[in-house]
Amino acid sequence: MRISNTELDGSRFSSEKALAAGPVRLDHLAGRYRGPLRRFFERRLRANPDPEDLVQEVFVRLIRFGRVENIRHLDGFVFQVAANVLRDYARRCSIRANEIRHERIEDVEIEGGISPERILLGEEAIERVIQALCELPEMTKAIFCLYHFDEVSQVEIAYKLNMSLSTLEKHMRRANLHLLKRLELSG
């Protein structure tokens, strides 16, 4: 099912107009958000050159949600739904990739089990990661931990910290580069 990309009378749709106008029409949502959602997904996806399926999934979820005219910050809500769609897509891809790459765990024999040496190496690796995290600036560390450990979406973190998504992405890049550099030097 494709949603039309028409925009009535050339005006941009906004959440303030939605609250004043009553029920939100799907064609208004599609006209306002189709392009920004495509760009949102294109920037974050490398393997899937056509993000139209993900854009459609956002609209399906908005339809299921119903009464979007009652949402005070419609832009943030739509992109939070998009972030959730992206997260679900990544999980599905990860599961499929793991199924393809890995044998069933019952079919794999571990030679000698897990040795004390292997446990020690794992503990040392975790200690290096923690040490590298502690070297980061507080804001960068907080953003990294919220995203990776608390599984909060980048859109939600940016909203909560009142910063742009691009600023948040710079913090994430800084943290990732720092961790990679530190782990390469110590490994």
Residue 4 has pLDDT above 60, yes or no: no
**CA-to-CA distance for 76 and 83, rounded, in angstroms?**
10
DSSP 8-state class, residue 106 = G
pLDDT of 113 reads: 62
**CA-to-CA distance for 108 and 79, rounded, in angstroms?**
42
Output the CA torsion 167→170→176→181 (10° steps).
Answer: -140
**CA-to-CA distance for 103 and 177, rounded, in angstroms?**
32
Cα torsion 34, 37, 39, 42: sign: negative
71 Cβ partners below 8 Å, 6+ apart? 15, 18, 77
Encoded amino acid at 69, one letter:
E
Q: What would the two tokens of residue 86 be?
A: 């992206």
The predicted-structure confidence for 128-153, as pLDDT tens digits, reads as follows: 888 888 999 999 999 988 888 888 89
Name the residue with higher pLDDT: 179 or 8: 179
Does domain 115-186 bear CATH number 3.40.50.1000? Answer: no
The predicted-structure confidence for 28-62, as pLDDT tens digits, reads as follows: 888 888 999 888 888 888 766 578 888 888 888 88
pTM exceeds cut of 0.85: no
